[in-house]
């Protein structure tokens, strides 16, 4: 079995060297993102969307953003920053919620 990093690198290099159609890019991006989730799994049972649909939907959005932009690196970096901030704020809210519920049950 290949290490996760090697799999991701191989898929990324494959995407760079081939002339993929948009639906193939979307599928590859979704697969790469799902591989990355292995280290920080999401509890999909609590959501009203299944994992493959969510990943394909977000991958489609990413491909659309890149197609409409001449400066791919800037779009990528700003998107990553926005996602990190959203994740950070969500985690702060969850931590606050957990702390609040601990205090109420004591």
List, for residues 41-68, the tens digit of each pLDDT value. 778 888 899 999 999 998 898 888 888 7
Residue pLDDT, tens place only, 61-76: 888 888 877 787 787 8
Residue with the bigger pLDDT between 94 and 35: it is 94
Q: Is-contact 12 33, C-beta < 8 A? A: no
20 within 8 A of 11, measured Cβ to Cβ: no
Question: Has this prediction a pTM greater than 0.85?
Answer: no
Residues 6+ apart with CB under 8 A from 16: none
The stretch 70-97 carries a mean pLDDT of 86
Are 91 and 85 within 8 A, CB to CB? no
- pLDDT of 2 over the 50 cut: no
CA dist., res. 85 & res. 81, Å (int): 6
What's the average model confidence in pLDDT over 2-7?
50
Give the separation between CA 9 and CA 32, rounded to whole angstroms.
Answer: 9
CB of 29 closer than 8 Å to CB of 63: yes
């Amino acid at each position: 079995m290949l290490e996760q990093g090697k799999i991701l690198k191989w898929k990324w290099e494959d995407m760079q060297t081939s002339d993929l159609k948009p639906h193939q890019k979307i599928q590859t991006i979704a697969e790469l993102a799902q591989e990355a989730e292995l280290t920080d799994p999401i509890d999909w049972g609590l959501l009203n969307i299944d994992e493959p649909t969510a990943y394909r939907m977000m991958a489609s959005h990413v491909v659309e953003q890149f197609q409409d932009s001449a400066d791919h690196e800037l779009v990528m970096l700003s998107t990553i920053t926005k996602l990190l901030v959203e994740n950070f704020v969500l985690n702060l809210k969850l931590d606050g919620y957990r702390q609040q519920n601990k205090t109420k049950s004591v």
